[in-house]
């Protein structure tokens, strides 16, 4: 039987026994900066999610009002023709399902007010549903969504 003495084992270098203070400090700095980056992006992603939800609600409201207008229009299309001929928006109406939004109708684009022959988005005499923020919710007059529709 062979007896191994502890003195015969090779001794390791003192620095290789563990991590140095500098290595631990650098790893903590990297970890904390990563956590701070995630914490910084979290509110921005929440805000983007809320904006996407509001844009979806605005698109749904515009489509709903266009369909209601088509449904309520007579065979001659008098209601749609009346909207088509409007040079200004109707008075805004607060959306019944979402009080953050209001809608109006117009025959001209609010987003693209100037007539450009090569751009169909700004054509006049095309009925539109315009969805904006309700001033009670947000005082800006920003257009959220504009939907062109016809019979």
* Mean pLDDT value of segment 50-70: 95
Give per-residue pLDDT as tens, 18-59: 789 999 999 999 999 999 988 888 888 889 999 999 999 999
Residue 129 has pLDDT above 90, yes or no: yes
Give per-residue pLDDT as tens, 75-86: 888 999 999 999
The C-alpha atoms of residue 100 and residue 81 are separated, in whole angstroms, by 29
Residue 18's pLDDT is: 79
Name the percent of the chain in helix, strand, coil, to the closest 5. Answer: 45, 15, 40
Domain boundaries, the chain: 19-148
Residue 124 has pLDDT above 60, yes or no: yes
């Amino acid at each position: 039987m062979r007896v191994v003495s502890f003195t015969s084992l090779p001794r390791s270098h003192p620095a290789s026994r563990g991590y140095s203070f500098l290595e631990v400090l650098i790893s903590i700095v990297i970890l904390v900066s990563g956590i701070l980056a995630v914490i910084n992006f979290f509110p921005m992603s929440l805000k983007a999610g809320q904006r996407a939800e509001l844009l979806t609600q605005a698109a749904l409201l515009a489509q709903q009002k266009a369909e209601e207008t088509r449904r309520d229009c007579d065979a001659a299309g008098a209601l749609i023709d009346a909207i088509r001929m409007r040079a200004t928006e109707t008075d805004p109406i607060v959306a019944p399902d979402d009080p953050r939004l209001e809608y109006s109708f117009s025959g001209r684009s609010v987003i693209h007010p100037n007539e450009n022959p090569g751009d169909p988005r700004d054509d006049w005499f095309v009925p539109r549903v315009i969805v904006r923020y309700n001033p009670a919710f947000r005082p800006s007059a920003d257009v959220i969504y504009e939907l062109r529709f016809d019979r």
